Structure 1
C-alpha cells in the first residue's frame, strides 16, 4: 500500500476497502488471512492496518510522529487487533462507529476497583491488549464507546475544516445545512436603527430559531455572551474570537438539549473542541486573494505540543489573521438599481419630499451624478461591507499533569483580540428645514428635504473585541467512577468606535448660523467634525462558573453496564454597558435610546442522566435538569430517548424533551428604542387622541422604553426521530426528522400598528386622551419548526486508483410557523427570503502523496420578501418572472500534496465557477447576506511545516 501523506499535519482519514465492490466482513471479524504488519513507524503500521482490516482511522500525524509499532501478526477481531498494534505507543483508539476509530493520547490510567476479599484476583496475561478508551460526546455527559446517540450529531473533523478552505469559524458554520448565519452587518444594525452600527459580532444558529436558541460551548463549557448586542438578537456568541487553526473538531447536536446543557439549547448545541494532546509542532502560513485581486487575507499560525515529567503535556498555539474588507462598489451586481432584472430602481432619491414624490434639488437632472455633477440618489448597496475587514491575534495554552495514578490537574488559557471594520452608506434621512432657511423649497418651505451627508463620508465602525477565557480543574477516577471539578472565567469586552453619524443638535445649530448649507456645497473640516463627531459604545460580559460532574456504572444489564452522570453547576454573569455621552443624551440622529447600566445574576443547576442498555440491540437514555435563575424561579427540563438496532445494518433512534430559557441580562433591561415619537393609525381601540394629525387619520404619541416586571421564561418542546442504514462498512445513510415548538417567546411588542392587542401599553392622561405608548418585551410569540436532515457517507479503495470518500449532508425546512401574538394568525415562513433546502457534499480522492477534495454546496430557491409570506407574488415581480430567487450550486476544489518531508502544500479554489449572487428583493442589494458568497472565485495557498 502506498504511503499516504506522512507529512500530513491535520486529521487524516485512512480509508480502506477491498475494491470498488461491497464489503462482506463484519466490523469485528478478523481478516481472512490474518494481519501481517511489520515493525516500524506507527504511521506506516496504521496505513497497513487500515488496508488489511477495511476500517477508517482518524488521527493527526503529529500525534503519531516519532512513535513506533512492534507490528502485528495473526488473526484477531478488529478492536483487539488495533489495541495490540497500539500497545506501548501511549495512544488509544476510540470507536466512532462500527468501522471508524479516532486515535487519542492515553489520557491517564483508568484503574479497576480493588476486588473484594471473597473474590479471587486474576492476573492479567502479559499479552492482553490495551483497553480501548471511551470519549465524551456532545449530547450526553456519559462517556460513550460510539458516537451514535439517541439525538442526531454531526462531527466536523479537522481534515474537513482544512479541505473546506474556510478561514473563519463563522463562514464554516453558517454554510452548514440547517444553520443560519448572522452577519456582522445584520447584528450591527438590528433593532430598527439601520444606520447606527451598535455591534459587530458574527454568529450562527440552528433551524431559523435565532441565536437565543443555539448554545455554543468550547470544550463543553459555555462561552461568554458578546458584550454588545441589540434587543432583536438577545444574547449571542461571537464566533470571530476562535481561530480555526486551534480547533480539533466541531460537534453539532441537533434538537433540544436543555435537559443536558440548560438555557439557550432549545434548537441544539455547537461544541467547539480545541486541540490538546499533540506531540511535536507545526507552522502554517497561507495567503488568499480573489479572482479580481481583492479581499486579500493572510494567516500565520504556530503550535507545539510537549510532554512533561510525570506523563503530563503542554500545548501552545498562536494565530495571526488579517483579511481586507470588501465593499459593494467592488462588485457590479451590488446595487439597488434592479432595472436590468425587469424590476425598479430602488436607489434613494434626493430632493424635497412631497407625499410619495421628490422635487429634485437644484442642479440635479439625473439620478446619477456625472463627473463634477451633484448626486441625485443614493445607492446604499455600493457602500456597504460585503465582507468586513478583520485583524485577529490569538493565543491558546493547555496544560495537563497527572497527580497520581487516579487523577490529574488541567488548565486552559485562551486570549484573543479581534478588530473588525465595517462601513455603511453615508448617513441619510428627511431633514425639516426652518422656513427662513436659504435651502428651503421656496414655493412650500415646510417640505422636508431628503438628504445624504456625502460630505461626511460613509458610516464606519471599528469594533475591538477582547476575549479572555481561563479554566482550571481536577479530574480523576475512584474505582470505575470518573469525577471532574472545574472553575472557569469567560470574559468578553467590546469597544465600538463609530464615524459618520450626525449629531442633531450640532447640525441644526450649524445650519441656523449658516455654517452648514444643504445645497451640497463644500464645507470646512471644522464644521464636518462638529456635526459628525466620533461616537463610542462599550460593553463587557463576565461569566464565572463552577462545575462538578460524576459519572460511572450503576449495575449490570443484559446489554452492558447501566451508566449514570450527575452534577451541579453555578454561574455568575455580569454585564456592563457603557454607551458614549452622545448616545445617552439622545444627540445621535436616528439612534436607539441607550443608557449606561451594570447588572449581574446568579444561576445554578443540578442534573442527572442515565443510559440503560436493555439489550445488545436496545438502549434508552433519560436526562433531567433543574435550573434556578436569579429572579425567575426554578424549572425542570426532562428528556428521554432510545436507540434500537433490530438488525446489524439498521438502527432506529428518537428523543423527546422540554426546554427552558430564562430572560438574559440583555432582556431584563429597557429595550433599545428607535425614536422618541411615533404615529398610530387612528381607530376605536386608541380612543380620543391628544395630538391628532393628518385630519385625525393618525395620532402622534411619545414612546417610552420600560422594563416588563411580568416577563417570564421561554419554554419549548422538541422531538427527533431517525433511522441509520449501514448495509456495508463502506456505506452509511441516516435520515432524521425534527420538530421544535417554542412558546412564550420574548418579543418587543408592536403597539403602534395593532394597539387593540396591547391596551396595557397605551398611556392616557386623566381625561382619557392617548398621549404615549410603552415599549417593552413580552411573552407573546410562538414558533414551530419542522424539517428533515440527511447524512450519507460512502468510501471505497481501489488497487490502482487509490481511495475515494464521498459525503453528503442535506436539510429541508418543512415548516417555519411564526405567531407574534396569540390573537394574530400564524404564518409559515419556510422558504421565505431564505432557501428551505440545502445540500453540502464532498468527494475526496487519495492517491499516493496527493489528496483532492471537490466540495459542492446547493441552495434551493427562496421566495422574494413581499412583507407577508401569504402573498403569492406582486404584479411587478410576476410580470418580470422574478417571484423567487433561483437556486444556486457553488463548487470548490482543494488540492494537497504531502510528498516532501515535513511539508504539506495545498491550494484551495472556492466558488470555482465564479457564480455571482442573484436576489430579486429590490432592497437586498443583489444578494442574500445570510446565504450568498459575495467574493466570487477565490484562491488560497497554504504551506505547513511539521517538526
Structure 2
C-alpha cells in the first residue's frame, strides 16, 4: 500500500501558550532588529562553534541548558564491550530494548507494530518508553531505521554503527521534538564520529566466558591525515560475537517450572480426537456437553520413548499408545540460544576541505554488514484446528490409505466435520530451525558549511544531504511446506502422481533405536527454505543558519533557524510460501510497502536575561518551535522552552518544558503481522479449578469443560492501521548541577560535580496494541462473548482460541516520572589519580492506560513480558591511574522486582507454580494472583590497563573481567525464554577479555 495524503490534523498541538510565546519572541526580535541603528562595518567576529546536543544554536552559552550525559571513547573501551548498543543498554536510564540475548526468531512471532522481530539488532530505550521513542543521530543527523527481514521497523539498530568510528556519545535525557522533530520523546542519542585523526591506530581484542563459549573478537584499523585545510580519516573494522547455547547454562537448559512447561508437540507425536472411537483404554469417556455425565470418548494419546514400531513403521493402536500427560512434554530449551552469534564488518571514510576562509566542504560514507543467526527447536508439524496460526494446517487430515496411519480410518479435522482435533509431531530428525540474517547498511552524507558577516556579526550556515539505506535478507532453514505435508499425508496415489512426493510417517515417533521414523527421503520432500527481505531508505536535505541577531542589555540574542526535508520508504517482502500460509507456526503474511515525506521549518532563540548580577551570574531563556508537515496525516507544531540560571559560579539550575510527537512508521501504518504472545488462558482447565466465579464465567463464554490450553503462545493478528495519528507528548525536567569551587585542591577532592534531574514524560494517544493478556483477562472477567474485550477473540468448538485480532490504535496514555542523580569525583594524590563516576536513576511512577481508562499491568517494580521497570538502577565506576598503569571497578545494581507467578497450570492442584512452592507470595485460593519476588542484583566488573608496555610508545594493553562473582540472573517464571529477562540481566557466567592497541603518528 502507498501512503495517501490526508489533511486531518492532530489535536492539541496547534495553539499552546508556549507556541504563542515562541512566535511572539521571533516577531519581537525582528522588530527590535529593524529598530536598531545600522552598525558600522567592523572586523568579522568568529563564532565560538560549540555544538551542543539539544540545540541547533552553536554557541558556548547554550551548553548546560539541557541534561546531557557525555560518554567518552575511553569509557566504552574500559567496559570491555565491543558494541555501542551493549554499552548504552547499561545506562541507568535505559529500559527494555532488543539486544543479541533476544533469540526471538521462531519463538515469539512478530511483534504487534508491524516492525518485525529485529533479530540480531541492538537498540536503545530510554525511560522505558520504547526504542521507537528515542531518536538516534550520528554527528547530529538522523540514522536510518533498522531492517531485519521480518517487517519495517521504527527504531535504529546500533549494531550498524561500528565502535571503530566512535569518538564519543551524547545522551539527552529530555524531549526534543521542537529541535529535532519526530521520535525525540524520551530522549536523543548522538554518536559523534572521530575527526581530525592523525596517524594510524590498530586495535584487536579477544574474550570469552569462563565456560569457554561466547567468544568475542575485534580487529580495527584507523588511519588519518590532514593539515590546516584538509582532513581525512579511514577506518575498517571487524567484530564477531559467537553463540552461547541455552543448554549450556543451568538457568536455561530447562523450564524454570519444570518439564511439564515444555512443548506439547513432542518427537514421539501426539494425537487428539473427540468422539467416534471405542478404544476406551486410552480414550476415556468425557463430559463433552457439560451436563455432568461422561458421554463420549476423548482421545489425547502419545507413545513412550523407545516404543518399537510395527511392520508399517508405526506403533500399534491402541496397544502401544498411552494417554498424554504433561510430564511427557518436550524440552525445547537446549536448542535455543542465550546469546546469538553476530558478525559485523564495516568501512568508514570521512573528509573535510576548507575551500576558502569562510567555506568548507565535508563528506562521510559508511558501509556496514551485519551477519547474525537465531536458532530455535526443530519445527513442529501440527495439523488440525490446534495448528498455531496456520489456516492451511487447520484443514489437513490423514488418509486411511496412508501406509503409516495406525488408526485404520480417515482422520478428518473437526473444522471439516471430522473428529480429529490435532496431530502433532516434532521431527528432531530435521534439525533445529535456523534463521540467518544478512543486513547491509549504506550511509552517505555531504555538505557545505561556512560563515558570512553582516555588519559586525558573523553567522554560521550549512547545507547538507544524507542518503542512507538498511537492507536485510533472512534465510529460514529447516522448516516445512504444509502443502507438501498435506500431499504426503493424503492418498498415496495422489502423492505418487506428484514428482518427488514421498508418503510421510508422523506417527512413528523416534522408534526403538531412537533415530526417528521420518526418513531422509521424507524430509527431502517436506523441508523447505524460506527467503524474506526488507528494506528501509532515508533521504534528508537540510539548510541551517545560526548566529547573533542583536544585542540585549546583557548580551546578544542568539538564534538558529532552518529547513529540513525527509523522505522515508520501506518494504517487507516475505517468501511466496509464507504469503500462501504454507509455513508452520506462521500466519499467512502479506507484503508491506509504504513511503511518506515530511517538510519541516524550525527556529530557536537563546536570550541572556541577566549577566554578572547578584544571585544571577547567568540567567538565560531559550525557546524553540518546529513546524512539520507530513504527507500521511497532516501537520504538527511543537515547542520547547528552557530556563538556565546560575546564581553562583558553582551552582547551575535549569528547567525545560517541551512538546513532542512521534509519527507512525511504515510498519505501524501498513504492516500486517502475527505475534506469538505468551498468554495464559484463564479458562484452561477451569472445570477442575475449584474457583466458582471462574467456572461460571468460562461456562458463560461457552467454553467446554474439557478445554485445556495447548502450549503457552497464542497467535494474535495485529499490525498496520493507516488511520493512526501521531503520538503527542509533554516533557518536563528541572534540575541542578553543583560544582563547588572550594573543593578544588582540598585533601579529599580536586573536583566534584553533582547533577540531579527530575523528569516527567506524558505520552498521549500512544500507538500500540492492547496488552493481549490484559484483553483476554478482561474478556473472561466480563463473562460476555459480546463484550468489547471479547470482540477480537474467536474460539473454536473445543474452546481453543482460533484467532485473536489485536490491531494497533492510538489507545491511551503513558505517564512516567523519576530522578537521575549523577556524581563525578576526582582526586590527585602522591600514589596516583583516583576518579569516580556514579550514575543513578530512580523511577517514581510508570502508568499506562487505555482509551477506556483501564490500567495496563506494566508498572514500576514489575517484571512483565521480558520488560522490567526497576525502581532503582545504579552504576558506580571507580578508577585509579598512576603513570602508565590503570585499574578500575564497576558495580551495576538493579533493584528487586515482582512478577506474576502464574501460568496455564493455575487450575491444576498439584502442578501450579503455587502448588509447587515456587512463589514467594502465594495465593492458594486463586493461584493466578500469586506473585514471586526477583531479588536485587549487582554485577561487578574489573578492568586494568598498561600504557607503553616494555617502553613501546603508543602500545596499550587492556584486561577486563566482567561479572567477577559469577552472578546469575534472577529466575523468571513469566519470561518467554531462557528463564530470565535478557533486557535486564547479563548472560550467565564470568567473562574475560584482552585488548591490544597501537597508535603512531
TM-score when normalising by structure 2: 0.73
Answering whether residue 473 of structure 2 is matched by residue 495 of structure 1, we say yes
Which residue of the partner structure matches residue 10 of structure 1? Answer: none
CA distance in 1, matches of 2:420, 2:895: 49
Of 862, 871, 878 in structure 1, the residue corresponding to residue 919 of structure 2 is 878
Of 64, 89, 101 in structure 2, the residue corresponding to residue 174 of structure 1 is 89
Answering whether residue 790 of structure 2 is matched by residue 781 of structure 1, we say no
Which residue of the partner structure matches residue 439 of structure 2? Answer: 465
Which residue of the partner structure matches residue 252 of structure 2? Answer: 334
CA deviation digits over 1:917-936, x for unaligned, max 9? 22132554332211211152
CA distance in 2, matches of 1:591, 1:266: 34
Answering whether residue 612 of structure 2 is matched by residue 649 of structure 1, we say no
Of 588, 601, 606 in structure 1, the residue corresponding to residue 601 of structure 2 is 606
Answering whether residue 994 of structure 2 is matched by residue 941 of structure 1, we say yes
SS at match of 1:522: coil
CA distance in 1, matches of 2:174, 2:381: 44
CA distance in 1, matches of 2:104, 2:655: 35
Which residue of the partner structure matches residue 111 of structure 1? Answer: none
Answering whether residue 396 of structure 2 is matched by residue 477 of structure 1, we say no
Q: Which runs of 5+ in 1 are unaligned?
A: 1-115, 125-130, 366-374, 682-690, 764-770
Answering whether residue 862 of structure 2 is matched by residue 809 of structure 1, we say no
Which residue of the partner structure matches residue 68 of structure 2? Answer: 153
CA deviation digits over 1:366-410, x for unaligned, max 9? xxxxxxxxx943223322221111221101111100011011000
Of 99, 119, 122 in structure 2, the residue corresponding to residue 183 of structure 1 is 99
CA distance in 2, matches of 1:122, 1:132: 13
* CA pair 144-353 structure 1, distance change in 2 beyond 3 A: farther
The alpha carbon displacement at 1:745 in A equals 1.6
Answering whether residue 266 of structure 2 is matched by residue 346 of structure 1, we say no
CA deviation digits over 1:414-441, x for unaligned, max 9? 1111101121122237543648475667
* CA pair 558-856 structure 1, distance change in 2 beyond 3 A: farther
The alpha carbon displacement at 1:902 in A equals 2.2
Which residue of the partner structure matches residue 362 of structure 1? Answer: 304
Answering whether residue 941 of structure 2 is matched by residue 892 of structure 1, we say yes
* CA pair 825-143 structure 1, distance change in 2 beyond 3 A: same
* CA pair 235-357 structure 1, distance change in 2 beyond 3 A: farther
CA deviation digits over 1:297-335, x for unaligned, max 9? 221101111115x61110111101122111111212213
* CA pair 266-171 structure 1, distance change in 2 beyond 3 A: same
- Contact 2:242 2:340 (C-alpha < 8 Å) held by counterparts: yes
The alpha carbon displacement at 1:151 in A equals 2.3
- Contact 1:507 1:516 (C-alpha < 8 Å) held by counterparts: no
CA distance in 2, matches of 1:474, 1:328: 51
CA distance in 2, matches of 1:122, 1:546: 33
Moved more, 154-163 or 583-592: 583-592
Answering whether residue 799 of structure 2 is matched by residue 821 of structure 1, we say no
CA deviation digits over 1:688-722, x for unaligned, max 9? xxx98849999xx9998785443211111111111
Moved more, 721-730 or 822-831: 822-831
The alpha carbon displacement at 1:221 in A equals 0.8
CA distance in 2, matches of 1:172, 1:358: 50
* CA pair 656-353 structure 1, distance change in 2 beyond 3 A: farther
- Contact 2:103 2:340 (C-alpha < 8 Å) held by counterparts: no
CA distance in 1, matches of 2:467, 2:103: 29
Q: Which runs of 5+ in 2 are unaligned?
A: 1-36, 274-285, 287-297, 308-326, 385-396, 412-418, 493-502, 511-515, 612-617, 684-700, 709-713, 745-750, 780-785, 795-801, 907-912, 923-930
Q: Greater strand share, 1 or 2? A: 1
Answering whether residue 226 of structure 2 is matched by residue 307 of structure 1, we say yes
* CA pair 496-338 structure 1, distance change in 2 beyond 3 A: same
CA distance in 1, matches of 2:70, 2:117: 35
CA distance in 1, matches of 2:90, 2:149: 23
Which residue of the partner structure matches residue 712 of structure 1? Answer: 725
Answering whether residue 363 of structure 2 is matched by residue 411 of structure 1, we say yes
CA deviation digits over 1:136-189, x for unaligned, max 9? 121111123268433211111111111111111121111111112313536646
CA distance in 2, matches of 1:937, 1:695: 49
SS at match of 2:862: coil
Of 554, 562, 567 in structure 2, the residue corresponding to residue 567 of structure 1 is 562
- Contact 1:258 1:265 (C-alpha < 8 Å) held by counterparts: yes
- Contact 2:597 2:630 (C-alpha < 8 Å) held by counterparts: yes
CA distance in 1, matches of 2:189, 2:301: 53
The alpha carbon displacement at 1:813 in A equals 1.7
The alpha carbon displacement at 1:270 in A equals 0.7
CA distance in 2, matches of 1:706, 1:165: 39
CA distance in 1, matches of 2:399, 2:705: 23
The alpha carbon displacement at 1:502 in A equals 2.8
Answering whether residue 121 of structure 2 is matched by residue 201 of structure 1, we say yes
* CA pair 179-439 structure 1, distance change in 2 beyond 3 A: farther
CA deviation digits over 1:228-272, x for unaligned, max 9? 4767x9511111111112100111111211111111111111111
* CA pair 898-775 structure 1, distance change in 2 beyond 3 A: closer
The alpha carbon displacement at 1:786 in A equals 1.3
Answering whether residue 522 of structure 2 is matched by residue 515 of structure 1, we say no
> What is the number of residues matched between the two proteins?
794
SS at match of 1:283: strand
- Contact 1:470 1:490 (C-alpha < 8 Å) held by counterparts: yes
Answering whether residue 979 of structure 2 is matched by residue 926 of structure 1, we say yes
SS at match of 1:249: strand
CA distance in 1, matches of 2:107, 2:466: 31
Answering whether residue 156 of structure 2 is matched by residue 237 of structure 1, we say yes
Which residue of the partner structure matches residue 838 of structure 1? Answer: 873
- Contact 1:604 1:628 (C-alpha < 8 Å) held by counterparts: yes
- Contact 1:858 1:888 (C-alpha < 8 Å) held by counterparts: yes
* CA pair 187-333 structure 1, distance change in 2 beyond 3 A: closer
* CA pair 761-891 structure 1, distance change in 2 beyond 3 A: closer
SS at match of 1:163: helix
Please give the residue correspondences for 1:590-601 in structure 2 after superposition, counting only pairs within 5 Å.
Answer: 590-601=585-596
Of 452, 458, 479 in structure 1, the residue corresponding to residue 426 of structure 2 is 452
TM-score when normalising by structure 1: 0.77
Please give the residue correspondences for 1:363-378 in structure 2 after superposition, counting only pairs within 5 Å.
Answer: 363=305, 376-378=328-330
- Contact 2:675 2:715 (C-alpha < 8 Å) held by counterparts: no
CA distance in 1, matches of 2:338, 2:601: 44
CA distance in 1, matches of 2:914, 2:855: 21
* CA pair 357-176 structure 1, distance change in 2 beyond 3 A: farther
Answering whether residue 482 of structure 2 is matched by residue 504 of structure 1, we say yes
The alpha carbon displacement at 1:647 in A equals 2.5
Which residue of the partner structure matches residue 379 of structure 2? Answer: 427
- Contact 1:568 1:604 (C-alpha < 8 Å) held by counterparts: yes
CA deviation digits over 1:170-226, x for unaligned, max 9? 211111111123135366468745999674422121111111111111111111111
Answering whether residue 787 of structure 2 is matched by residue 756 of structure 1, we say yes
Answering whether residue 247 of structure 2 is matched by residue 318 of structure 1, we say no
CA distance in 2, matches of 1:271, 1:385: 31
- Contact 1:819 1:827 (C-alpha < 8 Å) held by counterparts: no
CA deviation digits over 1:622-645, x for unaligned, max 9? 110011111210010111111112
CA distance in 2, matches of 1:345, 1:758: 30
SS at match of 2:179: helix
CA deviation digits over 1:775-809, x for unaligned, max 9? 642211321111111110000001x2110110001
* CA pair 831-502 structure 1, distance change in 2 beyond 3 A: farther
Please give the residue correspondences for 1:92-111 in structure 2 after superposition, counting only pairs within 5 Å.
Answer: none
Which residue of the partner structure matches residue 882 of structure 2? Answer: 847
Please give the residue correspondences for 1:236-255 in structure 2 after superposition, counting only pairs within 5 Å.
Answer: 236-255=155-174
